[in-house]
Chains A and B, each alone.
Chain A
Amino acid sequence: MLVQLAVSGLALGSMYGLVALGYHMTWATSRTLNFSQGHVVMVGAVVAYAAHVAGGWPLAAAVAVTLLAAAAFGLVVERIAVRPFFRAGSPVWLLATIALGIIVENVAMLAFGKDARAFPSALALKPVFVLGAGVYPQELLLPVVGVALMGATQLFYHRTFYGRQLKAVAWDSEAAGLMGIDVPRAVAVSYALSSVLAGVAGLLLAPLLNVSPTMGTLIGLKAFAVAIIGGLTSAAGIVVAGFLYGLVEALVAGYVSTGAREIVGFAVVIAMLIVRPWGLGGARPARRV
């Protein structure tokens, strides 16, 4: 039972981490967040469904279209829900991104319907048994792809020229601007990348969760909890927090009660905000005088 719970928990946890990493990316470059991150997960799944299942496209083409759609959505969010308010120094971007998410959800309901649809995958048909615990191969794929992508984003930040530019913006956007880095573009790119991560999560989760307009809401919320626990400024902290959150969630549901699961998860968030608001991996911010 322990192994069973752990496997399920870690699989979901890797997806929380992946989506949460998206929060981290935009936070780092612009100190803003896309609160409709959960809806991007849904967009990823719905677009993949439309292309692959309904449209009959080959999987590779469907994946490419899905990633493009997610990136485009990220750019739209940044352009119309964040940039106008961010420039004015107003925190209205918070509400604007939520509003955009609700709009997308309702558009999906109109275009796609409210019924959950199946996303067939050879990896989610028959469970395999590992150490006596059943698991769908797709669930094993989640942490593999998740960790690989998390690693790739770190490589991008540290090893590529453009990645370093983004990092410079994250460090000090004013100075980066003075050094000739196009800061607004860097912010837009971070939004696109952040949405791609969520889109990938949607793609990977579709065969396990089924595809529906409301599928991403709870994941987006839990990923936000993970980002807070891990520390919005710390990619590593978020990755660890994602796995921990998934694991604790599964163990609480299995050994305490399924009703206690959400209570424990979000109670930890509040406790974290009080005790260590910069998160597990974040550095205590220096006080500017």
Chain B
Amino acid sequence: MRRGLLTLLVIVALAALAGAPTAQPAPIKVGLAAAVSGGSAASGEAIKRGLQIAIDEVNARGGLLGGRKLELVVRDDEGNPQKGVTIARELVERERVAAVFGGLHTTVALAQVPVWHELATPYVGTWAAGTNITRNGKKPNFVFRVSANDDEVDKFLVRYAAERLKRGRPGLLLENTAWGQSNEAGLTKWFGERSVKAVGIEKFNWNDPDMSPQLLRLKQGGADVVMLVANAPEGAQVVKSKAKVGWDVPIVSHWGISGGRFAELTGELSEGVVFVQTYSFFGKQNARGEAVLKALRDRYGVKGPEDVTAPVGTANAYDALHLVALAIEQAKSTDGAKVRDALEELKAEYAGLIKTYKHPFTSEQHDALTERDYIMVVWKGGKIVPVQ
């Protein structure tokens, strides 16, 4: 009898122990599909940091849907569209993520669009700026973005050149890729709205050693501002060749030159080149900016704003995660279609890092950030500081 009671007690205790984990509700998984290896690894890491900091904040508040914690699942797209499609399926079908965040490459993001649609999973881009990623013609559209959009960037750059710099004879200098092409269309369109025609459109290839022919042609054409669409290495060659041909003209640039090592490659020649960003950790920060900087310092050893690599990735991802968290709460579900609907009809106002989001997405507008939210920054002493 005594022995039986003991056995019973043990069984009860074991059952309680075994049951303990189930008392904790299952976590909600969210995915990151981005390049976390190779030449663009810094962008993937920056996005991951932004997401993780925001996830920790949500979890510290007690998680979502009555105590379910968020959990990040990272998959590497290697900057390769085919790989991007494979990991998109893997994240949804095997890992059962509620939503996926995207990385730097427009080509990868475009290849994934049909997958999100087919698997009814909301996707929020945090970097790639290709116009057609969000304006993809799908109904309902599962693709959202908290980042720049080439078309909006072009509008912003044109406005800056025309209104701030008061220039009316732009010369376009673009990399000879799909990205350059999409911006050629955008810049031409928005200059056209102001009845301004580019005096010249010049292209260059990756690794081109000397940009002076292109610059000379623009100079001969009478350009009074150069609109630049380039990544860091080629942007650096442009700046160096410009000094060589002795042409004093302002350069207004897309954000490609913020990656890589533009300041290192150009030295003091980078001084005064302006370009677009969605956010800057320099200058006075709002409460979220302070919190994110503190988290970056405590967790990743980031010393200060000048030490934040690829800052737009972290900032965009941070806000994107909080918006998705709000949508999951509002949908009261992790069902992809319901979360998607909630994103389009988000009721809660979110005072975020980049701005305060009020109804950030509609059925027509899937970019939470538009040219009104972008900021112009300038290279000063090798650092990126906001234009006053």
Task: Flag if A118 contacts B216 (CB, 8 Å).
Answer: no
Known: A4-B245, A134-B243, A135-B244. A210 touches B210 (CB 8 A): no
A12 and B209 within 8 A (CB): yes
Chain A residues, CB < 8 A from B206: 214
Write the nearest CB–CB distance from A212 to chain B, whole angstroms. Answer: 7
Closest Cβ neighbor of B261 among chain A residues? A115
Whether A158 sits at the interface, judged by CB under 8 Å, is no
Looking at the assembled complex, report how far the CB atom of B233 sits from the nearest CB atom of chain A, in whole angstroms: 4
B21 in the interface (beta carbon within 8 A): no
Most A C-beta atoms less than 10 A away, residue of B202, B205, B209, B246: B209
Indicate whether B388 reaches chain A with its CB closer than 8 angstroms: no
Once the chains are docked, how many angstroms separate the CA of A15 from the CA of B298? Answer: 50
In-complex Cβ contact of A258 among B202, B209, B265, B266 (8 A):
B202
Q: Contacts A4-B216, A250-B213, A259-B203: A116 and B243 contacting too (C-beta < 8 A)?
A: no
Query: How big is the B interface, by class?
Result: 20 to 34
Binary flags per residue of B202-241, CB closer than 8 Å to A gives 1, else 0: 1111110110111011001000000000001100110010
A129 vs B237: C-alpha distance when bound (angstroms): 18
**Residue among B39, B203, B216, B264 facing the most chain A CB atoms (10 A cut-off):** B216
Size class of the contact patch on chain A = 35 or more
Contacts of B213 in A (CB 8 A): 5, 8, 250, 253-254, 258, 261
* Complex interface: chain A residues within 8 A of B264 (CB): 117-118
Interface of A, secondary structure class, is: mixed
Q: Hey, which chain B residues are within 8 Å of A31, CB to CB?
A: none
Is B38 on the interface with A (CB-CB < 8 A)?
Answer: yes
CB of A208 within 8 A of chain B? yes
Within 8 A of B (CB), among A180-211: 205, 208-210
B260 sits at the interface (CB 8 A)? yes
Known: A8-B210, A136-B244, A210-B233. A116 touches B203 (CB 8 A): no
Closest Cβ of chain A to B175, distance in Å, is 12
Q: A91-130: which residues lie under 8 A (CB-CB) from chain B? A: 109, 113-118, 120, 124-127, 129
Least Cβ distance of A39 to chain B in Å? 13
- Report how far A209 CA is from B209 CA in the complex, Å: 6
Q: How far is the CB of B183 from chain A (nearest CB, A)?
A: 17
Given contact pairs A115-B260, A116-B260, a sample of 6 additional A-B residue pairs in the complex whose CB atoms are under 8 Å apart: A4-B216, A12-B210, A209-B209, A210-B233, A258-B204, A258-B217
Spell out B's residues near A (CB within 8 Å). Answer: 38-39, 176, 202-207, 209-210, 212-214, 216-217, 220, 232-233, 236-237, 240, 243-246, 260-261, 264-267
